[in-house]
Structure 1
């Protein structure tokens, strides 16, 4: 055991049974100005933890007399403040997941990259000494597909954007605050329009990475042929039209959070590559010969039931378990209707502010009307209803047209070109079969769009097709549908 006494208050305990590695970690930390103590097994570490308080514990997973996981569980049981970093063997993804679930702050994989080692330790030290920033606005990957337009707010502000005080939403907020400061991957589940991206933003804003980049990626919006280059980057000349080196989403999110929205839409081949990048924290840009270490926190979201997707063979089981270390389920709006008054007020304030007009009054009768509406599109559909009401309002009070049965099933409501009308006789053989089928498909799509507040993601989910297929059909059938915010779960 060695001890050093440097002019700093940051104390770190390193536990590893290999003398060479223990010395390497110690020297690296000493050069960074930390006070360092070392131990070679679980018993030695427990003695030091009993005698001293530390800021960070760094431990190998496998030790001669037990597992480093024992130390993490002990600190958690004693409600100690030490942030724990676990070092696992190459490819031991299960150990990494287990340690994160047990309360570890982060993990590293052998052979340890010293630059990444220093970065993770610095993040752990910051997390023990400073609260989440109150109003930082980290940069995004400007101009990249999936990058957000809305700046990330401070921790409390981001939580406040989750409007409502229902029991279901309170649980979501509490879970966000509890898990935000860990590096454990989080899977956000919820129907389209419930606010999955808002929850992911709140996780980032309340984490020790709040000053780092926030990169949001809509996995369903990227052509399959470009997925690898977009995620991992590319080298000049790696494919036709590649005229310069280009960073991918993982590099753009270095030191911050990478949000993978609609993760369930990734094709299986890309799921395999993503799994390796997440497990090993290394990516190989397209056309490169060397891998790069990356330091990102992964938050993913989906409206699909990934467990069912795994059973159906459409989603890798190992990736599912890797992403679903911590799950946050957002209840649909129909299960938290007591939040409607607060949601309506917040949305109307936002709409009125953007329109440069006074906030209109929402009568109690309209609130009652909304409370009876199915609101299949959740908060996003509610926002679309209020947008239309404000636009059509002639007086101080609003009138809402909710999702009542419409003539769409019988008569197309949007302008379109081409094709004929359906024969009046249901059993008549059409003279133009393709036109007849196109008209039937057009009417079904239009009805789904209207019933989901013109939200293409929600409409696609209702019809059991992907967003990419939905876009293709809308374009092919020349449906003139209003935009409904297809690429974001941010209802505000």
Structure 2
């Protein structure tokens, strides 16, 4: 393996010496410059694998150097060295294209982790096989091509990314792709739905707790930050965080340290933060339901997940992929969509986006006869809706309206199906005939009702 080279740009000789010694012990070759002019000369005459630059230099700003490198050597990762009082400037550097930042006084453990992550960016080793099997961001539309290009760029950074979009647009899938294409891909990706954690348990869930810290704490328990150490923590529905937790989360993100509930010492954590919500986070800030300082810290880079109605040309590809997944899950032959069904889907507004498309197809696959789905199998509850017209309540499909009824009848359905299975000694084919439904419909009901 060839020796990797790092360019150090800092006007303080003591900092340069400390960095040279630390990186030298990591087996790296270093060259140093005290200002932008000398750095430009070294960049012109040498090949580097990483640049570490201070933000305040005698002849300009480190951001100017970042912009120069972005223009001339876009694949060279740049890490920023910033003083504690320049957090806003450090965030500006991330927006300009910096990979990450480390604060002064230097935390050498944090520095070594940052350097290790940055140097992985230009290694050509492919992601692990299990990562390559994950579904990609499907679609040939221009908006999806832009999303994929943006994800590839964001994967090379450690900047926090805020993903905004309606429910069902695939915000978590976008976050997973940013993680899977970046240097943290071999470490954990930990998603958490912030709205699903009871407020009284939130601090323990995020930061962990020590034995005896509260009633029921019978053992030490690591939190989500520790579970994601070295990887990515995805905060889904981040707008649902209560204000007291927002304060603690902000400190954990800025200091990169956490204190488990009941612990005396803080713990260093190395995580990349990605967040998402279907709400308008800026409106939540204006309404004083979300802290402005946390909003700016999370929203270093914003990425919008497009609604399905804005890319109707992607529906055939998405539908084929989803039907293939349904067939594999049910161990049934591949289903297809007739032209009339495709036409109906292409004109439907999809208030629930890709998640609703999957629900519609699963329902249709359950109820149809044969292997080809037609318009009547889809059971769309409203006439085709103009794609430029915002969805109305009338567009909500039957399966949403029936959810309350399904809940009420679930126990009765489960009892009837169990009796049929017991009568046929759990022969599912015979049980389906006894119930007067297709085998496919029975499989669907077994899955929905959780009957094993």
The answer to whether the aligner puts 1:402 opposite 2:383 as a matched pair is no
Indicate the SS of the match to 2:122.
helix
Distance in 2, Cα, partners of 1:196 & 1:242:
34
Q: CA deviation at 1:91?
A: 4.8
The answer to whether the aligner puts 1:116 opposite 2:110 as a matched pair is yes
1:378 is matched with which residue: 334, 341, 353? 353
2:366 is matched with which residue: 388, 391, 413? 391
Give TM-score, length-normalised by structure 1: 0.75
Distance in 2, Cα, partners of 1:8 & 1:344:
47
Task: Kindly provide the CA deviation profile for residues 364-410 of structure 1, in whole angstroms up to 9, marking residues without a partner as x.
Answer: 111222233332111111111111111112223222111339xxxxx
Q: CA deviation at 1:70?
A: 2.2
Distance in 2, Cα, partners of 1:32 & 1:337:
51
1:365 is matched with which residue: 327, 337, 340? 340
Coordinate RMSD, CA, aligned? 2.7
Q: CA deviation at 1:313?
A: 1.1
* 1:443 match: none
The answer to whether the aligner puts 1:134 opposite 2:127 as a matched pair is yes
Distance in 2, Cα, partners of 1:481 & 1:327:
41
2:64 is matched with which residue: 62, 70, 74? 70
Task: Say if 1:375 and 1:452, in contact at 8 Å, map to a contact too.
Answer: no
Q: CA deviation at 1:267?
A: 1.1
Change beyond 3 A, Cα 1:65–1:292: farther
Distance in 2, Cα, partners of 1:113 & 1:136:
34
Q: CA deviation at 1:227?
A: 1.1
Distance in 1, Cα, partners of 2:291 & 2:321:
39
2:73 is matched with which residue: 62, 67, 79? 79
Give TM-score, length-normalised by structure 2: 0.82
Q: CA deviation at 1:204?
A: 0.8
The answer to whether the aligner puts 1:38 opposite 2:32 as a matched pair is yes
Distance in 1, Cα, partners of 2:70 & 2:20:
24
Indicate the SS of the match to 1:171.
helix
Q: CA deviation at 1:452?
A: 8.4
Distance in 1, Cα, partners of 2:169 & 2:239:
17
Task: Say if 1:8 and 1:35, in contact at 8 Å, map to a contact too.
Answer: no
* 1:353 match: 328
Task: Kindly provide the CA deviation profile for residues 456-490 of structure 1, in whole angstroms up to 9, marking residues without a partner as x.
Answer: 9xx9xxxxxxxxxxxxxx89xx75689xxxxxxxx
Task: Say if 2:351 and 2:395, in contact at 8 Å, map to a contact too.
Answer: no
Q: CA deviation at 1:325?
A: 1.5
Distance in 2, Cα, partners of 1:317 & 1:480:
45
Task: Kindly provide the CA deviation profile for residues 92-126 of structure 1, in whole angstroms up to 9, marking residues without a partner as x.
Answer: 32122111111111111222221111111011112
1:204 is matched with which residue: 179, 198, 202? 179
Indicate the SS of the match to 2:279.
coil
Distance in 1, Cα, partners of 2:202 & 2:157:
28
Change beyond 3 A, Cα 1:81–1:356: closer
Task: Say if 2:8 and 2:32, in contact at 8 Å, map to a contact too.
Answer: yes
* 1:59 match: 53
Change beyond 3 A, Cα 1:290–1:92: farther
* 2:218 match: 243
Structure 1: unaligned runs, 5 residues or longer? 1-6, 138-152, 406-446, 460-473, 483-492
Structure with greater helix share of residues: 2
* 2:162 match: 187
Distance in 1, Cα, partners of 2:55 & 2:98:
11
1:274 is matched with which residue: 249, 253, 278? 249
* 2:281 match: 306
* 1:12 match: 6
Change beyond 3 A, Cα 1:375–1:38: same
Change beyond 3 A, Cα 1:342–1:218: same
Q: CA deviation at 1:344?
A: 1.1
Change beyond 3 A, Cα 1:204–1:136: farther
Matched ranges for 1:90-489 at <5 A: 90-131=84-125, 133-137=126-130, 153-154=131-132, 158=134, 161-398=136-373, 399-404=377-382, 451=397, 453-454=399-400
Q: CA deviation at 1:292?
A: 1.9
Change beyond 3 A, Cα 1:31–1:212: same
Distance in 1, Cα, partners of 2:6 & 2:282:
40
Change beyond 3 A, Cα 1:350–1:47: same
Indicate the SS of the match to 2:205.
helix
Structure number with greater CO (CA < 8 Å, separation at least 6) is: 1
* 1:422 match: none
Task: Say if 2:333 and 2:371, in contact at 8 Å, map to a contact too.
Answer: no
Q: CA deviation at 1:449?
A: 12
Task: Say if 1:376 and 1:452, in contact at 8 Å, map to a contact too.
Answer: no
- Between 1:208-217 and 1:358-367, the stretch displaced more is 358-367
Indicate the SS of the match to 1:128.
coil
* 2:434 match: none
